[in-house]
Amino acid sequence: MRSRNSRRVSRRDVVRWGAAAAAVPALAGATRLAGAEQRSPVHGQAGTPAVGAFRPAPYTELEEATIAELRSALEARRLSSRELTAAYLARIDAIDNAGPAINSVIEVNPEALAIAEALDRELATSGPRGPLHGVPILIKDNIGTADRMETTAGSLALLGARPAEDATVAARRRAAGAVILGKTNLSEWANFRSTHSASGWSGRGGQTLNPYALDRTPSGSSSGSGAAVAASLAAAALGTETDGSIVSPSGVMAIVGIKPTVGLTSRAGVIPIAHSQDTVGTHGRTVADAAAVLGALTGADPRDQATAESEGRAETDYTHYLDPEGLRGARIGVARDYFGYSEEADALVEASITALRRLGAEVIDPANIPTAEEMASDPGEFEVLLYEFKADLNAYLEALGPAAAVRTLEDLIRYNEEHAAEEMPFFGQEIFELAQEKGPLTDQAYLDFLANNRRLGGRDGIDAVMDDLRLDALVAPTGSPPSKIDVVNGDLFLGASSSPAAMAGYPIVTVPCGDAFGLPVGISFIGRAYSEPTLIRLAHAFEQGTRLRRPPQYLPAGAIPPAALGATRGAALPATPPALEASPESGEATPGTFG
């Protein structure tokens, strides 16, 4: 195998942006902008799309631009928030709607430019209100906003049912000075409707595509947030995770995902799956970007009891932990239980383990989670999600105003049956039906499953191996290279490493670790509750020591880049991959990730 060549992205200085962006007109309530230069496919013989054949997108200065760079330009008045917002809107029009049409943004904020102009005036008169002042951020369409945008979880059933107030994380975005640029598409109902769903598809938004290869899954359920950040359609984005839905799209689209400890960020105003596992986190192209956004989300919230546990533990600035030498002296365990389903992912993570040692970490290999086998066979996680989904969704729907077409899960099931052509053209709602059969959260069966989940994932799982081996973190492949989108059979889920932390409510940070045949793979850093500072430090040091992210190529369906044929590209790859054992779950059609 060939090692991945170092590749640094060149970009123009942000000072060149100037008035050109300000000249881009906005259409209120629309995602398309007049006069935007658009990508368009160039076809080869017999109508076959040529590899990499897309015209340049507008405002290439934004490609891979970091939040720190944007803030510097904004605060030095070299760039206005209005110019920056208009430039991102132009990229959304050219890349998301036209050109490769990755379909990651379900709706742009019709007030985005007005908000940006107000923030420009505020910056000039009183200075920045917070660390994201004037920076455009996208949020997932299950995060409520009390504005002119919808909050639907991708479902037609919630059109017009706008919440009475912002979700707490959306309100904190505004308080930090961010421009909420729009909402991102997702796997409908956060991928908790059918066991045969296609990640990234929703009845309202259609199918989101992976910008690295347009026929490959963007994974779920925060697929739109991940794709938009990968394509530089915003500085960063918010996603949600119940089990895998922040880290999985991050892994297959070469971005950083931070899935926080349950309770570090508020879920108030977020369309739920399950309160014991749901969490709101961040997507960025760098660890620094994802960490900067995370710090503006945290803090206790009386609307979400789980956040009370974060008192004294939550930070407001996680960028303090960005140490490029942060791996020196760290003890990193290799969770071998979560290898073996993808030769390509394993090879890339093996190379990453070599890089961890080179960067000063002490690697303990193996560092297996004692309960891994029991978790894989135990039905408890899914049972808890079914119970909590019914209870939590009914509470959310009941609080909606009279404009809501559905007020209970039972109503929603009926709505989907009555609108099956629009809502269920490819897969059904068997998970909804299973949840509807569940009793209240006082059922002893539910309480027993919940306690067992926390034991398996936490005390006897992650905590046990980390205590025994005195570890700072565990590492494992985030998942496999992305499989092809298949709305007929559903996702091909080979395996992932998110479930122990999901069941325990613990954090994960995933970072790009290379690509296989041009398709990205991530490595996950997994830790104890509220260990975000440690994980951010370790992940940043790995990122800076390897620099394996590369921007997307928007490869047409069926295309494999010639340079990638036969190549897996990562850090210091071994000559041959290690021997592998087949995973018993390989080839299983399942949603794989929730949230």
User: What mean pLDDT is predicted for residues 38-43?
Assistant: 27
As a whole number, mean pLDDT of residues 184-207 equals: 98
pLDDT greater than 50 at residue 112: yes
The C-alpha angle 114, 107, 591, rounded to 5 degrees, equals 145
Alpha carbon distance 320, 584 (integer Å): 42
Q: Does 181 map to a domain?
A: yes
Largest CA distance in the chain: 64
| Reduced 3-state DSSP string for 548-563 | CCCCCCCECCCCCCHH
| Residue 94 maps to a domain | yes
Tokens of 82: 């209005």
Instruction: Let me know if 310 is a catalytic residue.
Output: no
Confidence of residue 587 (pLDDT cuts 50, 70, 90): very low
To the query of whether residue 197 is one of the catalytic residues in this protein, the response is no
Q: Determine the pLDDT at residue 595.
A: 82
Question: For 295-329, how does the pLDDT look when each residue is reduced to its tens digit (9 = 90+)?
Answer: 999 999 999 999 999 999 999 999 999 999 999 99
Look at residue 394 and tell me whether its pLDDT is greater than 60. Answer: yes
d(CA 132, CA 174): 9
Confidence at residue 116, expressed as pLDDT on a 0 to 100 scale: 98
Q: Select which of 221, 276, 352, 483 is catalytic.
A: 221
**9 pLDDT higher than 90:** no
Alpha carbons 470 and 473: distance in angstroms, whole number: 9
Active-site residue (options: 223, 245, 310, 483): 245
Does the predicted TM-score (pTM) go above 0.85?
yes
Residue 43 lies in a domain: no
Nearest to 154 by CA among 96, 113, 128, 193: 193
Measured distance CA(537)–CA(258) in Å, rounded: 12
Half-sphere exposure of 5 (CA within 13 A, CB side): 6
Look up the CATH number of the domain holding residue 74: 3.90.1300.10
Give the alpha-carbon dihedral of 581, 584, 590, 595, to 10 degrees.
-70
Q: Would 115 be classed as within a structural domain?
A: yes
Q: Residue 557: its pLDDT value, please?
A: 87
The verdict on whether omega for the bond into residue 221 sits within 30 degrees of 0, i.e. cis, is: yes
| pLDDT reading at 581 higher than 70 | no
The pLDDT confidence band at residue 572, using thresholds 50, 70 and 90, is low
Asked whether the beta carbons of 296 and 304 are under 8 A apart, the reply is no
> Which residue's entry shows tokens 């990205």?
520
> How far is Cα 90 from Cα 269, in angstroms, rounded to an integer?
30
What confidence score (pLDDT) does residue 32 get? 23
pLDDT score, position 558: 83
Percent of the chain residues past pLDDT 70, beyond the cut: 85
**Total domains present in the chain:** 1
Rounded distance, CA 204 to CA 200, Å? 11
589: pLDDT strictly greater than 90: no
What pLDDT does 104 receive?
A: 98
pLDDT tops 50 at residue 368: yes
User: What band does 560 get if pLDDT is binned at 50, 70 and 90?
Assistant: low
With respect to residue 46, please indicate whether it lies within any of the assigned structural domains. no
Q: Which residues of 500-518 are buried (b: 16+ CB within 10 A; e: fewer)?
A: bbbbbbbbbbbbbbbbbeb
* pLDDT per residue as tens digits for the range 239-295: 999 999 999 999 999 999 999 999 999 999 999 999 999 999 999 999 999 999 999
> Does 498 participate in catalysis according to the annotation?
no
Please, which pLDDT band fits residue 54 given cuts at 50, 70 and 90? low
Average pLDDT of the residues in 411-435: 98
User: One of 80, 140, 155, 390 is an active-site residue; which one?
Assistant: 140
- Are 465 and 527 a contacting pair, CB within 8 Å? no
pLDDT reported for residue 561: 59
Strand partners, 265: 262, 298
Query: Which of the two residues, 23 and 274, has the higher pLDDT score?
Result: 274
Q: Reduced to 3 states, what is the DSSP secondary structure of residue 167? A: coil
Is pLDDT above 50 for 565? no
Query: What mean pLDDT value characterizes the chain?
Result: 88
- What is the chain's Cα-based Rg? 22
**Residue 155 pLDDT > 50, yes or no?**
yes
Most confident stretch, 44-53, 438-447, 562-571? 438-447
Residue 91 contacts residue 63 (beta carbons within 8 Å):
no
| Least confident span in 7-11, 180-184, 375-379, 404-408 | 7-11
Q: Give domain status of residue 190, yes or no.
A: yes
Tokens of 356: 């961890």
Stretch 160-187: mean pLDDT: 97
Domain contains 237: yes
Percentage of residues in the chain having pLDDT higher than 90: 83
- For residue 448, what are the domain limits? 14-22+60-589
pLDDT tens, residue by residue, 132-144? 999 999 999 999 9
pLDDT digits (tens, 9 = 90+) for 56-97: 689 999 999 999 999 999 999 999 999 999 999 999 999 999
| Residue 378: per-residue pLDDT | 97
Does residue 210 fall inside a structural domain? yes
> Residue type for 303, please?
R
